[in-house]
Structure 1
């Protein structure tokens, strides 16, 4: 190996010794308590057959898009789905992206200008942090869900500020004080950007729609690879923001558009959820889990329930024990989370049974 790559080997070896080395493995068979398929749509046979029928009737959905949206990839399908999405969320416009990461990268790298300031909750998605790195704007962080910390930061700024938060946080499983933050943003004439990746579907069309905050939230990012069982993301915004992103957002301009099947799958999921209430079963399973009394920082109605176990070896032993009993869970180590806050991240779903949830929690209780 080239001598200049020595540091790569050292970094990987360090993680191996610490027991935090990541690797790709085939999907395991077992009881799912680790995927983001909160409503079970990715495994829903009825939804799959609905989509299959559409493919049989319109096989062109399977074809590649042939280019970026600005060249040959802007099909009538993607235009129609964007209009439909905007209507569902009561926003003037929507702009589709291949993934939530891509959407956040586009939004944060493009919208804030050189003399602006981006103030993010310290626990926002990595895609938001990475988008900020590509921006010319100044970036600050406020303490997680701390309104005083946010207001202290805003009070000291001279130029325009953007506030970037999630509505439901994916690692702690807690909710942002969304209405209060919207009021603070309005008070300081700041622009509020909300990532609803884990809230969409779990809370209908997301918490921005639930609280009717569309007028106070400049952009909302909704992603479809979680509760919607599909893939991709949309930035919900006004016509001005959409036009600006189309003209200046590199991740949008220089990416080949996804095939129409991806957009059709998103629309089909919206239609299916409009006629099928899957979230009430999910909420009942969350209630069953919470009734077991495990200590957690997570919200009582969140599908993500974090069990803090800062001892690496104990956490790994718990995950292995659960795996041997047929349970698939996800252990999160630093640097993905702050050192000392390592946790078992439990994802609850509409399809989990009470017996499965009870047995899972009984095993966890021996380690907490």
Structure 2
């Protein structure tokens, strides 16, 4: 029996390799970073690290491990104070920390929507949302990406409690959700809007929900700290009743070891550092404008740090990526099953620390690649 299972697994891996979509772990490569989510460079910012180290020197107890679920032994005064800090920063009632955005979305969508409810999902919403929905007894219906008319047609036909799930900045397209119009639709039909801010958090202040003063019109927001914030973990932002309900009923919270204090301290440290260094966001927007001036085809929105360059076909995509890597320029090739076959693209992540010379070299090589086709 074990041999049969091994043979099945080996065949699945062989099939992927034959299709050119086999995933493998790779080490970080030396060269120009156009593939990480460290948009503001906080993950490797020495001044940011020194600020944290100074606090850690005075509080060595922060090195203590999580030890258990927060409902058992994994809670701490620091974690509670950081949650209060986050809620105040985002001008929302409460915040609840999670080890990752993935776990936060699992908690929300497995716990809140009930049997006979319906979750309306943007077709490009993050996999963590989809996995959370699979754990729910609610019905799930997708609507066409950023298509308000299609969403409204779904809302008009839906009976019972309805939830709408979107990202504010889409991770593989690099375009923006029409959050204000989504909030209007949700209010019109009595639906609850949940927004994943993973890639907008830090890049656009405290995220586009906060930036657009939509906190009271969005039922719950997920902000993550492993991208532009240069830390780790995530928080759900919502009303106090929602947070208390999650603490009592969300299995991904109840049965997960709490974040160690060091992670919570890093999150607070990086909020403060970013507030004191607003030029980092300005530097990033400068790099985005410089890249956009090259006029390459893109699926992405203006001002987005994620620029998705269409490159249909797995072989063509691999050739483009290899051309860049030969010159020390590292992007991310987005292939099936992450995106549909035929919609492959190079995902170019822009950062505050990318130089104009690096961006120029990248865009020149991409233009040469497209011209040679």
1:339 aligns with 2:341: yes
5+ residue gaps, structure 1, are: none
Aligned to 2:316: 314
For 1:1-368, what aligned pairs fall within 5 Å after superposition?
2-277=3-278, 278-368=280-370
| Distance in structure 2 (CA, Å) of the matches to 1:32 and 1:25 | 14
Residues 225-274 of structure 1: per-residue CA shift (max 9 Å, x gap): 00000000000000110011000000100011121000000000111111
Deviation (angstroms), 1:6:
2.4
SS in 1 for 2:27: coil
SS in 2 for 1:227: coil
Deviation (angstroms), 1:7:
2.1
Deviation (angstroms), 1:5:
3.4
> Does the 8 A contact of 1:143 with 1:149 survive in 2?
yes
Query: CA RMSD for the aligned pairs?
Result: 0.8
Deviation (angstroms), 1:366:
2.1
> Does the 8 A contact of 1:314 with 1:367 survive in 2?
no
| Distance in structure 2 (CA, Å) of the matches to 1:312 and 1:133 | 29
| Distance in structure 2 (CA, Å) of the matches to 1:352 and 1:49 | 22
Mean alpha-carbon deviation: is it higher for 356-365 or for 5-14?
A: 5-14
Deviation (angstroms), 1:176:
0.4
5+ residue gaps, structure 2, are: none
| Distance in structure 2 (CA, Å) of the matches to 1:254 and 1:25 | 31
SS in 1 for 2:358: helix
> Does the 8 A contact of 1:110 with 1:248 survive in 2?
yes
SS in 2 for 1:244: helix
| Distance in structure 2 (CA, Å) of the matches to 1:287 and 1:176 | 20
Residues 167-218 of structure 1: per-residue CA shift (max 9 Å, x gap): 0001010000110010000000000000000001110001101110111100
Deviation (angstroms), 1:297:
1.2
Deviation (angstroms), 1:60:
1.2
| Distance in structure 2 (CA, Å) of the matches to 1:79 and 1:150 | 38
| Consecutive aligned runs of 4 or more in structure 1 exceeding 6 Å deviation | none
| Distance in structure 2 (CA, Å) of the matches to 1:339 and 1:177 | 26
Query: Given the two structures, how large is their TM-score scaled by the length of structure 2?
Result: 0.98
